[in-house]
A and B are shown apart, each in its own frame.
Chain A
Amino acid sequence: MYPAELKYTKNHEYLRPLGDGTALVGITHYAQEALGDVVFVSLPEPGTRLGTGEEFGTVESVKTVSEVYMPSAGEVLEVNTELEAHPEFVNEDPYGQGWMIKLRLEGELDSGLLDAAGYEAHVMSESR
């Protein structure tokens, strides 16, 4: 449920480094489960530059809404336009088709990011 190749935030976003200075960002399995059925995802314009921890969008479920934040600083290169027609991808495939934005990373990856084991421990402590 928490792939080893990803980095995680305590706010339940993930970052997938693609090895060329870019990365995909989305929300974790735990986050999609907590939100329930996602019905709309609001994302920034490509070209937007945001710092670590800045809000880049909102995820609306039937029940509630949640802001999503930048795991690390960067420029938004691309957003997943498939989510307009298929917001359910966030629930069904959060680490695959449910990705939200593609970033060009700026500077070092944020040092507060967790690895899979660290994130799993964080989830355990939150859900206890």
Chain B
Amino acid sequence: MSLKRTPLFDAHVALGARMVDFGGWEMPLQYPTGILAEHHAVRKAVGIFDVSHMGEIRVRGSQSLAFLDWLTPNGVGALPPGRIQYTGLLTERGTFVDDLLLHKVDDRDFLLVVNASNAGKDLAWIRSHASAWDVEVLDESAVTGQVALQGPVSAAVLQPLVDIELGRIRYYGFAQGTFQGVPVLIARTGYTGEDGFEVYCPVERTPWVWETLLEQGRPQGLLPTGLGCRNTLRLEAKMALYGHEIDDGISALEADLGWILRFSKGDFLGRDALAAQRERGLVRVLVGFRMMEKGDIARDHMPVAEGGHVTSAAPSPTLGRNIGLALVPIALADLGSRIHIEIRGRACPAEVIPTPFYVRAR
């Protein structure tokens, strides 16, 4: 099967990007600047990511709010219009079909942004549960482009180009307006742990939006940034990646995402299983760790000697130490616990430390 391409494929190639297969999409891993420089650009200035591969699913109709409040575990009813929440699509077992960002336009109109590699599965999942409700489920992925500006200088780059007052958009809020005349939805969200904006625009205008932002941002230190640094940035911020920290075999409680479960709101898909698991107590849970020795670098999927495995790990460019996330037996989840990561047959010591590993100053 041939790889899918975003509307920015030619732009990446022109910038000298190294393209890789990411969940069936041909995406930029890094540009000639390299992962480290791109990572630091996002922490200190601003980076621009192509996230056009993400799936956009519209749910609209008179019962949209009630339907999504049942289908997803977080509190949709309490969410004001113009606000966004991190949530998931959970199975009856309380494990993940996917995680997503839910944007509430109003009680009858929601935009769900899901992982590219899961978009087809998610759409089928939502539709299979929608028949009893007065809702319409629309796949807007093919007509929607998306570019993310991430880093402390994001607002300064974006503000002169849009008719929306960015200072009025709160973190996890959004607004609709125009970007130099092009209709856009601008959300103050991202996958890096920095301030930043995700700009949704018509797919055919995406290359122009990208080029305009590149040109506007270059004097302020903007770099085009690829999936390589996106991964180290999101790891430092302890943001989950499907297939790593979450999947259909890992429950929301095990993934340390209890904060997206609103048990008090009433029934939701997966609630019974999660309530029972909470009652029983967890057997394993996701923790953050750091390697004790400089030369020991844990990587995704390595075994933990005491049981469990590494979900994601890398050298942290911001912290200068080797960090990771792992699913471990609950007895080893306390801060300060000593665990061992099996790196090429050697049990290398690591310490359980607080997460997120990196929190931006506000």
Do chains A and B interact in one complex? yes
- List chain A positions with a Cβ less than 8 A from chain B: 36-37, 39-40, 42, 58, 60-65, 91
Pair B30/A36 contact, Cβ less than 8 Å: yes
Counting from the closest, the 5 A-B pairs by CB-CB distance are A37-B36, A62-B35, A39-B315, A37-B34, A60-B297
CA distance A61 to B228 in the complex (A): 11
Write the B288-320 contact mask toward A (1 if CB under 8 angstroms, else 0): 000000110101000000000000001101000
Q: B28: shortest Cβ distance to chain A, in Å?
A: 13
Pair B228/A60 contact, Cβ less than 8 Å: no
CA distance A42 to B343 in the complex (A): 13
| Contacting residues, chain B, for A39 (C-beta < 8 A) | 297, 315
Of the candidates A36, A37, A42, A91, which one forms a contact with B295 in the assembled complex, judged by CB atoms under 8 Å apart?
A: A42
Residues of B15-34 whose CB lies within 8 A of A: 29-30, 34
Residues of B22-64 whose CB lies within 8 A of A: 29-30, 34-37, 39
CA distance A40 to B315 in the complex (A): 9
Write the B206-246 contact mask toward A (1 if CB under 8 angstroms, else 0): 00000000000000000000001000100000000000000
| Contacts known (A36-B35, A37-B36); A62 close to B295, Cβ less than 8 A | no
Pair A36/B34 contact, Cβ less than 8 Å: yes
Q: B99: shortest Cβ distance to chain A, in Å?
A: 23
Pair B228/A36 contact, Cβ less than 8 Å: yes
Pair A40/B295 contact, Cβ less than 8 Å: yes
A-B contacts, 18 of them at CB < 8 A, read A36-B29, A36-B30, A37-B36, A39-B297, A39-B315, A40-B295, A40-B297, A40-B315, A58-B344, A60-B295, A60-B297, A61-B35, A62-B35, A62-B228, A62-B314, A63-B29, A63-B35, A91-B34
Interface of B is mostly: mixed
- List chain B positions with a Cβ less than 8 A from chain A: 29-30, 34-37, 39, 228, 232, 294-295, 297, 299, 314-315, 317, 344
Nearest A residue to B231 by beta-carbon distance? A63
| Contacting residues, chain B, for A91 (C-beta < 8 A) | 34
Pair A40/B35 contact, Cβ less than 8 Å: no
CA distance A41 to B232 in the complex (A): 20
| Contacting residues, chain B, for A62 (C-beta < 8 A) | 35-36, 39, 228, 232, 314-315, 317
Pair B35/A60 contact, Cβ less than 8 Å: no
| Contacting residues, chain B, for A42 (C-beta < 8 A) | 295
Pair B35/A65 contact, Cβ less than 8 Å: no
Nearest B residue to A36 by beta-carbon distance? B35
Q: B37: shortest Cβ distance to chain A, in Å?
A: 8
| Contacting residues, chain B, for A36 (C-beta < 8 A) | 29-30, 34-35, 228
Of the candidates B30, B232, B299, B317, which one forms a contact with A65 in the assembled complex, judged by CB atoms under 8 Å apart?
A: B299
Nearest B residue to A84 by beta-carbon distance? B294
| Contacts known (A36-B30, A36-B228, A60-B315); A65 close to B36, Cβ less than 8 A | no
Nearest A residue to B294 by beta-carbon distance? A40
Q: A4: shortest Cβ distance to chain B, in Å?
A: 26
| Contacts known (A62-B228, A62-B232, A62-B314); A37 close to B294, Cβ less than 8 A | no
CA distance A37 to B232 in the complex (A): 13
CA distance A52 to B89 in the complex (A): 53
Nearest B residue to A39 by beta-carbon distance? B315
Nearest B residue to A58 by beta-carbon distance? B344
Known pairs A40-B295, A60-B297; list 20 more (Cβ under 8 Å). Answer: A36-B29, A36-B35, A37-B34, A37-B35, A37-B37, A39-B297, A39-B315, A40-B294, A40-B315, A42-B295, A58-B344, A60-B315, A61-B35, A62-B228, A62-B317, A63-B29, A63-B228, A63-B314, A65-B297, A91-B34
Q: B211: shortest Cβ distance to chain A, in Å?
A: 26
| Contacting residues, chain A, for B232 (C-beta < 8 A) | 62
| Contacting residues, chain A, for B35 (C-beta < 8 A) | 36-37, 61-63
Nearest B residue to A88 by beta-carbon distance? B36
CA distance A62 to B30 in the complex (A): 11
CA distance A36 to B37 in the complex (A): 11
Q: B313: shortest Cβ distance to chain A, in Å?
A: 11
